[in-house]
Amino acid sequence: MRHAARRLAAATFLTLAPALGLTAEASSISPWWKHAVVLEVYPRSYADSNGDGVGDLNGITSHLDDVVSLGADTIWITPMYPSPQVDFGYDIADYQAVDPQYGSLADFDRMVAEAKKRHVHVVLDMVMNHTSDKNPWFVDSARSRTSAHADWYVWNDGVDVNAPGVTAFQKRYVHDGKVPPNNWQSMFGGTAWEWAPSRKQFYYHRFYPQQPDLNWRNPAVEKAMFGAIRFWLDRGVDGFRLDAISTLFEDTKLRNDPERGGTNPHGDPNLHYAYSDKLPEVHDVMRRLRKLVDAYPGDRVLIGETYEPTTEALVPWYGGKAQDELQLPMDMLPGFGWGTKFDAAWFRKHLEDAQVQLEGGTPLMAFDNHDNERSIDRYGDGKHDIDRAKVLAALLFMNRGVAMTYYGAPLGMTTSVPARKEDVRDPVGIANWPNDKGRDGERTPMQWTAGPQAGFSTNPATWLPVATNYSTVNVASELKDPQSLLQWYRTLIALRQDNPAIRDGRMVFVDRTNPDVLAWVREGEVPVLVAMNFSDKPRVLKTGLEAKTIHTLAASTPALSGAASLDGTTLPPFSAWVVSFTR
Ligand code: NOJ
């Protein structure tokens, strides 16, 4: 209720502000996205409204009340545009329509309208780096070297197979005596260059051959892509998650990416992507795109798929001090890699860095998405998976910044990797089996109920099988269990939405030398202490904080509900405690 009242107050302010000559910046009301709780929805897998075994937009619309019940205020929908679905939508054939498998534009408009009624923001995925090879732009481009779109993609004659400097890797791909012009690789394995007999040339594809890279050095490409972005902004979407933006540009001299030694899971040489990734030109595009979205009312947002190895490396994506590029480059580090483990000290360092290194930018953290093994499996130990997931949820929702989660994560849905190659749907798994079994495991149908197909579809032939644990891991069952992971998510998100200190308060870390406990205070009129024990042993919390009164807001285990002191309380193994206090 309080939450709804706050939204109403914000809406009233924004309506009156122009008349009063005020801007949102001039007031204490910050843009909505600064506090967003984003739920990533994979449309194929969320809810099937028409019984074809594949999720769709009407399915999403019919579950908007569940989004509200979870407490999320934003949904990011992965691509739902017409697509041959080679990469399940990340190969777009038409940027200004809806794939009939997912519904129609009318269904889309209805979904946005229903979301708005519930104060849920809608963020779309925008794939600017590449299109489908069935996109009419590419079909025309591949037709001949003189077609209207001839220069919309990255074409090259290749080099003579016997030319000096040609690597063994290049020599694997000979066509008409020619090999690719360099050693650049597809992220999905093998060379990034595909031979097109129609032009007797190679085209570049950072991902699948069916995903040719656009030539961003051609201004017509930017014009077309920005036109598509306007199309959806005009339809009322609140922003975009920008796919694979770091690879928009390639080196004009096509220099080889240096080898790092060893081979990757695809059996290809490990490379340092010096000439095929993060070229500086991308930032000019980001600045122009930011101007475009800023010209729209309602604080439209740009979220970036920005896998970076350090917090600092995210800064250029924000636009540095100027903060004139993406509002929310994703911080994928704690979620997805570079040696992260379930470790209090590691997370403390990372969260501290995010508070000070981003030039005032808002951090966005995520632990789960459609490309990576689910975090419950990555961070689980097989024995305390739910308890550990509760600790990570506290870390995600109680820190300052935007929190992003993925459908099923709040339930503890697990990764269900296909057992046989013939069951794999993701081409990454088909091409690289068994070294890389692909991403199907984290894309299985949403588990709504303990009924047939987990309530995802009436059709037993779902596009991927429903995970076997659905009879206990599902929304309906977990809503009935006060100790479930879902209830823990709901409690934390509600706090985050309604508690002023948790929404806006500065983060001050306490008990900083404790190797097993991560703890901080969110400052405010009524401050809040958040404490997590990352160890399998009880650990004593040493904050040095004195409090006149304390009030537990959330405890991952009932053992903590009666804890009476901010200093000296014993935190049970793998537990999290959120407590407000007065000084
Ligand atoms: C990142 C997306 O998240 C992934 O699913 C996709 O395969 C690649 N980009 C290529 O678009």
Q: What is the pLDDT of residue 340?
A: 76
What is residue 4's predicted lDDT score, i.e. its pLDDT? 42
Residues 34 and 178: their CA atoms lie apart, in Å, by 51
Nearest to residue 137, comparing CAs of 95, 178, 90, 89?
A: 95
Peptide bond into 334 cis (omega under 30): no
Is 442 marked active-site? Answer: no
Instruction: Determine the 3-state secondary structure of 137 from DSSP.
Output: helix
**1 alpha carbon to ligand 1 midpoint, in Å?**
38
Q: For the beta carbon of residue 4, count every other beta carbon within 10 angstroms.
A: 9
Q: Within 6 Å (CB) of ligand 1, which residues are found?
A: 87, 90, 127, 207, 243-244, 305, 370-371
Separation of 243 CA from ligand 1 center, angstroms? 7
| Residue extent(s) of CATH 3.90.400.10 domains in the chain | 136-204
Nearest atom in ligand 1 to the alpha carbon of residue 439 is 5
Residue 12's pLDDT is 38
Atom of ligand 1 nearest to the CA of 91: 11
CA angle 271, 273, 279 (to 5 degrees): 175
The residue whose CA has the least distance to atom 5 of ligand 1 is 371
Specify the pLDDT at position 29: 67
Q: Beta strand 37-41 with 402-406: parallel, antiparallel or unpaired?
A: parallel
DSSP state string for 353-410: HHHHSSTTPPPEEES--TTS--HHHHH--SSSHHHHHHHHHHHHHHSSSEEEEETTGG
Residue showing tokens 């940027």:
95
- Marked catalytic residue, from 243, 299, 331, 516: 243
Series of mean pLDDT values for 10-residue runs along the chain (583 residues): 40 39 45 97 98 98 98 98 98 98 98 98 98 98 98 98 95 97 96 98 98 98 98 98 98 97 93 98 98 98 96 97 98 81 95 95 96 95 97 98 98 97 95 93 98 98 98 98 98 97 96 98 98 98 96 96 93 98 96
Burial of 473 (C-beta count, 10 Å sphere; 0-12/13-18/19+): buried
Q: Say how far residue 81 (Cα) sits from the centre of its chain.
A: 18
Residue nearest to atom 11 of ligand 1 (CA): 90
DSSP 558: G
Residue closest by Cα to atom 2 of ligand 1? 243
Q: Where in the chain is the domain with CATH 2.60.40.1180?
A: 505-582
Q: In this predicted structure, what is the pLDDT of residue 376? A: 96
CA of 193 to the centre of ligand 1 (A): 18
Phi first, then psi, for residue 355 (nearest 5°) are -75, -25
Quote the tokens at residue 57.
Answer: 């937009």
CB distance 308 to 302 below 8 Å: no
Half-sphere exposure of 47 (CA within 13 A, CB side): 18
Which of 44, 77, 85, 87 maximizes ligand 1 atoms within 8 Å of its Cβ, making it the mutation to test the pocket? Answer: 87
Which ligand 1 atom sits nearest the alpha carbon of residue 127? 11
Through-space distance between the first and last CA atoms of the chain, rounded to whole angstroms: 28
Span from the CA of 306 to the centroid of ligand 1 (angstroms): 12
CA–centroid distance, residue 325 to ligand 1 (Å): 21
- Residue minimizing CA distance to atom 4 of ligand 1: 371
Known catalytic residue at 277: no
**Position in ligand 1 atom list of the atom nearest CA 188:** 7
Residue 562: per-residue pLDDT: 86
Given this structure, which CATH class describes domain 136-204? alpha beta
Return the amino acid letter for 199: R
Ligand 1 centroid to Cα of residue 242, in Å, is 10
* Residue carrying the six token digits 């975090």: 375
The superfamily (CATH) of domain 34-129+219-491 is Glycosidases (3.20.20.80)
* Marked catalytic residue, from 194, 257, 305, 442: 305
In the chain, CATH 3.20.20.80 sits at: 34-129+219-491
- List the CATH code of the domain at 505-582: 2.60.40.1180
- How far is ligand 1, taken at its centre, from the CA of residue 431, in Å? 16
Q: Which of 76, 83, 90 to mutate to test the pocket of ligand 1 (most atoms within 8 A of CB)?
A: 90
